[in-house]
Structure 1
Amino acid sequence: FYAGAFIHATVPSIMTPGNHEYSNVVLSPQWRPQFALPTNGPKGLEETCYQVNYPDMKIVSLDAEQIDESEYYSKAQVRWLDSILLNDPRKWHVITLHYPLFSTKPDRDNPELRAALKPVIDKHKVDIVLQGHDHAYGRGTVTNDDSGTNLQDLTSGTVYVVSVSGPKMYDVGEKAWMDRRAGNTQLYQIISIKENILAYTAYTAIGELYDAFDLVKQDESPNRLINKIPENFERLQ
């Protein structure tokens, strides 16, 4: 909180809480005084689970720790997410949460989180899910062929991203869902939208392009994924 104070006071930020913002399922007392976040989510999760609406995009923050620890708040968030995505007119839908539905770690999996959220994500064809926690980088869909079509689920085409910007690192596994992965690498992402194209780029801390893709909206079909992965080697150590 101290390190980011001046940044958070000058740059609009959409924060999502993780496990380190909680102690024994109690939210840190620094969270709400530190940020000015919406209170339009489920009751009891003000400023941790919320939505931000732009003319052509909806961004949703989910409180992953409460999904993991509280059956009540897990169900409340799933119901709320379903309700705000239902018939939403915006073209692009983005979800951010701390715990990943698909992990980058060799020995980690989150089946309960996936069981809770993925049916709603698939139902509403969420475009991209931004996640953390695993201290590594991974990006992909469930499974892709070269055309970008989701082979296991032709109804959604959601892209899942796990990334890390801090100094702590974990091993990255070799998992089928990842089109691009990195270990021991700090990254940041730039996402831009112009009409029917969402352009995603990921850079290392020294500004090297490491990953890129476009999502193209298609009428009555899943998004078309166009991989633009640079030719530099994957950073796995």
Structure 2
Amino acid sequence: MVVVICAATLISCSDNAADEASGSDSDSGSGSSSTDSTTSPSDTSTTGDGDGDGDGDGDGDGDGDGIPERIDCGTPSYAGLRRAPYLQSVAPSSTRVAWASETGGVATLHVAESKDGPWMEFAATPRVFEVDYTGEEVDYTAYDATADGLQPGTQYCYEIHEDGDPVATGLWFETAWTDDRAVRIVALGDSGNASAEQLAVRDRMLERDFDVFLHLGDMAYGDGTFPEFKERVFDVYTELLHKTPTWPTMGNHEYKTDNGQPYLDLYYMPEVTLDPAHAERYYSFDYGEVHFISLETNDLPLITAVALDQTSDITMLDWLREDLAQNDKPWTVAFFHHPPYTSSERDPNFLVRDGLVPILEEWGVDIVLAGHDHHYERTVPLEGNGPSTKEEGGIYYFVVGNGGAGLRPADGDWWTAEVNDEQHGYLSLRIEGCTAYGEVVTLDGEILDSFELPDC
């Protein structure tokens, strides 16, 4: 069952929120646990932009323009929360924030353009998660609140209060923008085993700032349970999640528990599917000049009928065509878990290739990101199951399954691969104007791959 949570509503505004309150993929992996999110770590990511020049602007020229200076909201603090705040479904005029508490009081989200206020207050929607449902050690209450009526491309401070007292402060987010400003993307998959390698890759990610975090699936080995999500996602990426919106796609390991129900309970994605039964399994969103599409490749009935020439009841593909037909952005990035092209020792997913790729090619998708295979790979432009050029409609396919789980060999001479390698790391993309600038950063901080992809 998919749980539909209503959006929060604006309650009131005040000059100062704090003052007012006081008045066969079997590699489940193992490894050391990260710092628990109930502590209040310092926010270590203060510079960096994903282009490698360290100026924080996202344009790669080192002069510091293009990206607004970071808003000063104080030092992040969220001690005592079961699950620290994480940003969801960020849009030009709204931002959704989710978190969890073991105390279960009446919670509100407070948002302001300065840490000095004035503050807008939004009610949070609670949902109690009991031990019998989650398998965790205690009952807790999950909350989500949507701040709306916001301005595009604007930074805001935010706080969370429970029963009138602040429980999370010093936090900030930025709404999505609609102009041609650069978009800085971090992407990885197959990370979630709480290994030393996952934590090392996480630490490298925190050295830069990003606007969008795409997780390509298999974030919670081995079965996508609630305890695994806590230990291997929320306790690991805490410092990233409270300031960078996460846009996930479901991996086969998340699908193992009740067809991905914990994933659906924990993430709050746009509900845009044609069939309500598929809500949040696939969706799309815009950031600047980029249109992003997240697709579901675990639920085989959503894609297999195309390979069998049976398309009448495949609503994800119907939705995908409608979504792409309405897309007016110069860049389109699709992401899902199973790769249609790979040089891995495992075969590519031919159902994905037969079911999805023709639609992506027809509508001019530029970049496809996937995980599942535990290595890094960037293909030559591909079209019609063969090498092509971008000018002829070729798509660049990436496998970024090197986020922390055990690595697997890739064929270095494979015909589709421009670059492939078996090292842990993450993909950094900066899309600006006619070019996507990319780097793959290893857990040692080395640059495994550096490239520029033209689009006009």
Does the 8 Å contact 1:143/1:176 carry over to 2? no
SS in 2 for 1:109: coil
Q: Any idea what the Cα deviations from partners look like across 1:30-60, whole Å, max 9, x if unmatched? A: 2123222111134222222000112311111
> Residues 342 and 416 of structure 2 are in contact (CA less than 8 Å); yes or no, is this contact kept in structure 1?
no
- 2:346 and 2:373 in contact (8 A); partners too: no
Query: What's the secondary structure of 1:100's corresponding residue?
Result: coil
Q: Residue 216 of structure 1 aligns with which residue?
A: 454
1:168 alignment partner, one of 386, 398, 406: 406
| Residue aligning to 1:129 | 368
Deviations 1:182-218 (A, max 9, x none): 12x1111111122111111111112111112212222
* SS of residue paired to 1:60: strand
Q: Is the 8 A contact 1:19 1:65 kept in 2?
A: yes
Aligned pairs for 1:92-171 within 5 A: 92-142=331-381, 150-151=387-388, 155-163=392-400, 164-171=402-409
Cα distance in 2 for partners of 1:106, 1:197 equals 32
Answer yes or no: is the 8 Å Cα contact 1:67–1:113 preserved in 2.
no
TM-superposition CA deviations, 1:107-155 (whole Å, max 9, x none): 41322210101111111111100000011111113569xxxxx538863
Contact 2:270–2:283 under 8 Å retained in 1: yes
Pick one of 444, 449, 452 that aligns with 1:206.
Answer: 444
- Percent sequence identity is 23
**Letter matched to residue 65 of structure 1:** N
What residue is the counterpart of 2:233 in the other structure? Answer: 4
Give the TM-score normalised by structure 2. Answer: 0.43
Is 1:13 matched up with 2:268?
no
| Among 261, 273, 279, the residue aligned to 1:41 | 273
Shift of 1:68: 6.6
C-alpha deviation, 1:16, in angstroms? 0.4
Alpha-carbon deviation of 1:158? Answer: 0.8
1:140 and 1:68 map into 2 onto residues whose CA distance is 28
Structure 1 counterpart of 2:358, one-letter code: P
Distance in 1 (CA, whole Å) between partners of 2:367 and 2:271 is: 23
| 8 Å CA contact retained: 1:60, 1:95 | yes
- Greater mean alpha carbon deviation, residues 69-78 or residues 33-42: 69-78
Cα offsets for 1:1-42 (capped at 9, x unmatched): 113213545531010001001127x32332123222111134
Q: 1:42 to 1:171 in 2, by over 3 A?
A: farther
Code of the aligned partner of 1:179: E
Equivalent pair of 1:198/1:216 in contact (CA under 8 Å): yes
Higher relative contact order (CA 8 A, sep 6+): 2
The secondary structure found in structure 2 opposite 1:86 is helix
Is the 8 Å Cα contact of residues 17 and 48 (structure 1) preserved in structure 2? yes
CA contact (8 A) 1:104 1:162 kept: no
Q: 1:166 corresponds to which letter in structure 2?
A: G
Larger mean CA deviation between 73-82 and 87-96 belongs to: 73-82
**CA separation of 1:47/1:187 partners in 2, compared to 1, >3 Å: closer, same or farther?**
same
How far apart, in 1, do the equivalents of 2:302 and 2:319 lie? 18
Contact in 2 for aligned 1:199/1:214 (Cα 8 Å): yes
What one-letter code is carried by the residue in structure 2 that aligns with 1:4?
A: V
Superposition deviation, residue 171 in structure 1: 1.4
Q: 1:69 to 1:82 in 2, by over 3 A?
A: closer
Alpha-carbon distance change, 127 to 142 in structure 1, aligned in 2, over 3 angstroms = closer
Unaligned runs of 5+ in 2: 1-228, 306-310
Amino acid at match of 1:75: I
Q: What TM-score results when the alignment is normalised by the length of structure 1?
A: 0.80
SS at match of 1:47: coil
Q: Which 5+ residue runs of structure 1 have no aligned equivalent?
A: 145-149, 219-237
- Measured in 1, the distance between the counterparts of 2:357 and 2:246 equals 26
Q: Amino acid of the residue matched to residue 396 of structure 2?
A: V
Greater radius of gyration (CA): 2
Say yes or no: does 1:22 pair with 2:255. Answer: yes
Q: Is the 8 A contact 1:104 1:136 kept in 2?
A: no
Change (3 A) 1:189 1:168: same
The 2-side partners of 1:159 and 1:172 are apart by 18
Which whole-Å CA distance do the structure 2 matches of 1:130 and 1:35 have between them?
20
Q: Which residue of 2 aligns with 1:51?
A: 284
RMSD: 2.6
> How far apart in 1 are the matches of 2:390 and 2:301?
25
